[in-house]
Amino acid sequence: MRLVALAALLALLSACTDSDTARRALQGAGYTDIRIDGYSFYGCGDNDDYSTAFTAKGPTGVPVSGAVCSGFLSKSATIRLD
């Protein structure tokens, strides 16, 4: 039973998103019509605490999708496009 609880806890912790930070990063970079799509499974690296998927219009007006990667205390946000 403890193993199941530990596995569930680890799964919840690994699926973290930070929609507020992602939205601020995207708006600051000139993206519009931003839609936050939840957790991005493959968009960020192992050292990122948050991986938030998005779709938006890029600064040139072209539709884009990707992930905003950020950390809990030590890292600012990075925008990665698909």
| Structural domains in the chain (count) | 1
Q: Across residues 7-33, what is the average pLDDT?
A: 82
pTM value is 0.78
Q: Across residues 17-23, what is the average pLDDT?
A: 92
Per the structure, the complete domain to which residue 18 belongs is given by 2-81
Encode 64-75: b = buried (16+ Cβ within 10 Å), e = exposed. bebbbbbbeeee
Q: For residue 68, list its beta bridge partners.
A: 52, 79
pLDDT at residue 10 in the model: 53
For the cut 60, the answer to whether the pLDDT of residue 13 exceeds it is: no
What DSSP line would sit under 23-80, residue for residue? HHHHHHTT-EEEEEEEE-SSSS-TT-SEEEEEEEE-TTS-EEEEEEEE-SSS---EEE
The pLDDT mean for the chain works out to: 87
pLDDT in tens, 48-71: 889 999 999 999 999 999 999 998
